[in-house]
C-alpha cells in the first residue's frame, strides 16, 4: 500500500548559485559522500530530499543528513534512511522507498513513493 508520494523540481543554475553564495549550505544539506558529486547531481539529490519530506507529510524536525541518496552499482538511486527520517517513515508504516531522479534542460527533478 502507498503511504506517501512526493515530487520536487529544482532549477539547477539557481541551486548552484545558492551553494556558491552560501558554502555552508553544501555541508548542511549533504553528507560527505554526496558533497563529492557534480552540482547537477547535487540538485537532483536536493530535489529527492524535498520529495521525501513531502512523501512523509513534511513533519517538522527532519534532518537533511538522515536521508542520504546513494547510487547502486547499476547507477540506480536509492535512499539510505536513518534518524529523524527513518522514524517518520516508520511512523507511517513505510518500509519501501522508490526513488527516481532526473536532470535535463536546466531542471533537476525527483519522485518518491513510500510503501508499507
Tens-digit pLDDT profile for residues 31-76: 999 999 999 999 999 999 999 999 999 999 999 999 999 999 999 9
All structural domains of the chain with their residue ranges: 2-115
Residue 17: what pLDDT? 97
Query: The whole model's pTM is what?
Result: 0.96
Residue 71: what pLDDT? 95
pLDDT, average across residues 91-104: 97
Three state DSSP letters for the chain: CEEEEEEEEEEHHHHHHHHHHCCHHHHHHCCHHHHCCCHHHHHHHHHHHHHHHHHCCCCCCCCHHHEEEEECCCCCEEEEECHHHHHHHHHHCCCEEEEEEEEECCEEEEEEEEEC
What is the average pLDDT score of the chain? Answer: 97
Domain 2-115 class in CATH: alpha beta
Amino acid at each position: 500500500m502507498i503511504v506517501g508520494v512526493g515530487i520536487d523540481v529544482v532549477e539547477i543554475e539557481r541551486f548552484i548559485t545558492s551553494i556558491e553564495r552560501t558554502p555552508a549550505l553544501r555541508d548542511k544539506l549533504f553528507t560527505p559522500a554526496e558533497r563529492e558529486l557534480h552540482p547537477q547531481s547535487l540538485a537532483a539529490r536536493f530535489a529527492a530530499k524535498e520529495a521525501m519530506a513531502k512523501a512523509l507529510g513534511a513533519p517538522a524536525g527532519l534532518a537533511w543528513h538522515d536521508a542520504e541518496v546513494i547510487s547502486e552499482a547499476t547507477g540506480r538511486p536509492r535512499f539510505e534512511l536513518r534518524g529523524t527520517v527513518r522514524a517518520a517513515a516508520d511512523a507511517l508504516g513505510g518500509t519501501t522507498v522508490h526513488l527516481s531522479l532526473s536532470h535535463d534542460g536546466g531542471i533537476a527533478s525527483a519522485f518518491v513513493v513510500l510503501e508499507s
